[in-house]
Amino acid sequence: MSGIAREARLHIRVTPRGGRDSIDGVQDHTLRVRVAASPVDGAANVAAVRLIAAAVGVPPSAVRIAGGATGRRKVVAIEGLALAALIALWPDLGV
């Protein structure tokens, strides 16, 4: 996880076809995200981006997958958000 100027980055682990869209907490400095969507055609990525955007209070267009688009472990970049704001929401993300 790192903060770059006006962008915050965090590591997430996505569980597709998880039955519901939810953030299940932090484990090993990684945000655990569960989405109901399947990984076909990037649907799980879209659902994860929307869920994270809603949780941090930014529009989905401010959130992007910066790494790991085809795997469960991803790096997400959030524009217009300070790293401190992420740590305030999920203290266990702290380095």
pLDDT tens digits for range 9-56: 999 999 999 999 999 999 999 999 999 999 999 999 999 999 999 999
3-state secondary structure of 73: strand
In eight-state DSSP terms, residue 3 is: E
Whether 3 shows a pLDDT value over 70: the answer reads no
Backbone angles phi, psi at 93, to 5 degrees: -75, -20
Residues 23 and 32 sit within 8 Å (Cβ to Cβ):
yes
Choice between 7 and 56, residue whose per-residue pLDDT is larger: 56
Residues 66 and 1 sit within 8 Å (Cβ to Cβ):
no
- Report the alpha-carbon distance of residue 35 to residue 94 in Å, rounded: 24
| pTM tops 0.85, yes or no | yes
- Report the alpha-carbon distance of residue 55 to residue 36 in Å, rounded: 16
**What does the pLDDT read at residue 49?**
98
**What does the pLDDT read at residue 4?**
43
Whether 94 shows a pLDDT value over 80: the answer reads no
pLDDT band of residue 82 (cuts 50, 70, 90) is confident
Whether 5 shows a pLDDT value over 60: the answer reads no
